[in-house]
Structure 1
Amino acid sequence: MSTLLAAPARITAEPDGRGGTALPLLAGAGPIALRRTRGEGGAAHVVVIGSMAAPLGGDRLAVRAEVLPGAALLVTSAAATISLPGPGPAYYEVDLTVGEGARLDWLPEPVVAAAGSHLVLHTRITLAPGARLRYREEQVLGRRHDWARLRDPGRLTSRLTVRRAGRLLLDQQTDLGPGAPGWDGPAVLGGNRAAGQLLTVGTGPQPAAPPTAGTALLALPGGGATLLAAVAPDALALRRALDAG
């Protein structure tokens, strides 16, 4: 049965006045549970945990995170997010806001599209002047046993919109998997089954060149912002490519 959420999972991070970061709001919703764990360097660390199988086709899930000026937040996940088939696409929205002088490291595990599923993702990121960001996104088409049984993978339709100081920094959309035009051709995945990117804004020195084959490094407008994109045959090779950047 579909999970229709009236409210998203929410995270708010703010300075605690002692050189660290407090979490005045940490609220899960539906199948999304949030747990605070030990942070480092003054940053709070939140782990996203799937408390039940989700997203299923027809689900609508959402996460909102706000990092107030001067705070620092690291968000990871306990496991991959697996999109499962159901009556129609599932929808997952992520809204991230980073205040002036704040930092957000958004580093979840991959999203995996199981055979027969269709997940529509939309991530919106709003950065104040002086905000710092490290955002990793990894998408994998099909589980290992899907390919072993020669089953088509699921489909992932993803949009990433980033604004900095009120101006558009990045707006891109990808559509991968059966039903998406040319998704497995040489101009898109080229026979690979995993794609991802690492967006960095204001985090210090940037790499000068793509570190490995199958990657591309883009300098974004305004300075101090880069996008490292990669394709790979599997999730492990994709993580290695992004980590090298």
Structure 2
Amino acid sequence: MNSSGVRSVARIVARDDGRGGTALPVLESDGPLALRRTRGSGAEARVMLVGAMSGPLGGDHFTVRARVEEGARLSVGSAAATIALPGQAKGEARYDVRLDVADHAELHWTPEQLISAKGSDLHVTTRVDLAPASRLLLREEQVLGRAGEEPGRLTSRLTVRVAERVVLDQELACGPGAPGGWDGPAVLAGHRTVGQLVVVRPEFGADPVTARVLGEGASVVPLAGPAALVTAVAPDALRLRRLLDEALTSLL
């Protein structure tokens, strides 16, 4: 690592192989980010994101780009949680995710939790661009601090566009130095894990989901397009995952 931190880029392109499956003509990664193709199911290609090193650390900048072309199906997960840690380099760490999904293509983006360790400072941006007839399942889970530990600073922004129209643009900042109120009753209410699901399906355009509470700590709302948003808070990562899994079952 140099004084400015590590730069790492991973790229995925998924393409209909013409035989009822999905090919991966581009599967490139370097540095701390490693991509591995694993066994998928049916027409789906599955990729695991493997952290080859600790991080991101202070000053690091990681970028993941994925494009799913027309007719392809891609599922991306991670082998383990990502842990944001303090580093020797000054300044915040950055983790940028850029996702593009074409018509009649489908993307499942379901990495493991992001853990904000004490002393870290991480800014995450996720931007998703979808064609009108595409499908998306995106899951984000954030854990503020390891067991018995105060959290680091974590800023997360998620933007989703369908047919070039913004259906979701939200930002959450938590931890030391974040705007006041992030831990109050209107936001996390003292919980230390927060997560969300974004589900985009063309049929939601004609038949939007109904806004409702999904058990203790979770809710679903329709978005301004063929999409729905589930948000959840919980005291620990296990409970958070259970809430999100139950919410997904109710939607689909």
SS of residue matched to 2:213: coil
Q: Write the distance in 2 (CA, Å) between the matches of 1:39 and 1:9.
A: 20
Q: Write the distance in 2 (CA, Å) between the matches of 1:58 and 1:190.
A: 30
Q: Write the distance in 1 (CA, Å) between the matches of 2:158 and 2:72.
A: 23
Partners of 1:115 and 1:154 within 8 A in 2: yes
Q: Write the distance in 2 (CA, Å) between the matches of 1:242 and 1:170.
A: 18
Shift of 1:166: 1.2
Q: Write the distance in 1 (CA, Å) between the matches of 2:173 and 2:224.
A: 24
2:165 counterpart (164, 167, 173):
167
Partners of 1:210 and 1:228 within 8 A in 2: no
1:236 counterpart (228, 235, 238):
238
Structure 2 partner of 1:211: 214
* TM-score, scaled to structure 2: 0.91
Structure 1 partner of 2:63: 62
Structure 2 partner of 1:50: 51
Is 1:110 aligned with 2:113? yes
Q: Write the distance in 2 (CA, Å) between the matches of 1:142 and 1:232.
A: 14
Matches within 5 A, 1:1-245: 1=1, 2-5=4-7, 8-86=9-87, 87-144=90-147, 147=148, 151-180=149-178, 181-202=180-201, 208=210, 209-222=212-225, 224-245=226-247
* TM-score, scaled to structure 1: 0.93
Shift of 1:4: 3.6
Partners of 1:219 and 1:225 within 8 A in 2: yes
Shift of 1:88: 2.0
Which residue type is aligned with residue 72 of structure 1?
R
Which residue type is aligned with residue 69 of structure 1?
E
Q: Write the distance in 1 (CA, Å) between the matches of 2:21 and 2:214.
A: 34
Runs of 5+ unmatched residues, structure 1: none
Partners of 2:5 and 2:58 within 8 A in 1: no
Q: Write the distance in 2 (CA, Å) between the matches of 1:184 and 1:74.
A: 33
SS of residue matched to 1:238: helix
Deviations 1:88-129 (A, max 9, x none): 210000000000100000000000001110110000000011
Shift of 1:152: 2.2
Sequence identity of aligned pairs in percent? 56
Q: Write the distance in 1 (CA, Å) between the matches of 2:130 and 2:209.
A: 21
Runs of 5+ unmatched residues, structure 2: 248-252
Q: CA RMSD in A?
A: 1.4
Q: Write the distance in 1 (CA, Å) between the matches of 2:202 and 2:80.
A: 26
Q: Write the distance in 2 (CA, Å) between the matches of 1:88 and 1:15.
A: 41
Partners of 2:209 and 2:221 within 8 A in 1: no
Partners of 2:13 and 2:66 within 8 A in 1: yes
SS of residue matched to 2:240: helix
Higher alpha-carbon deviation: 210-219 or 105-114: 210-219
Shift of 1:3: 3.5
SS of residue matched to 1:182: coil
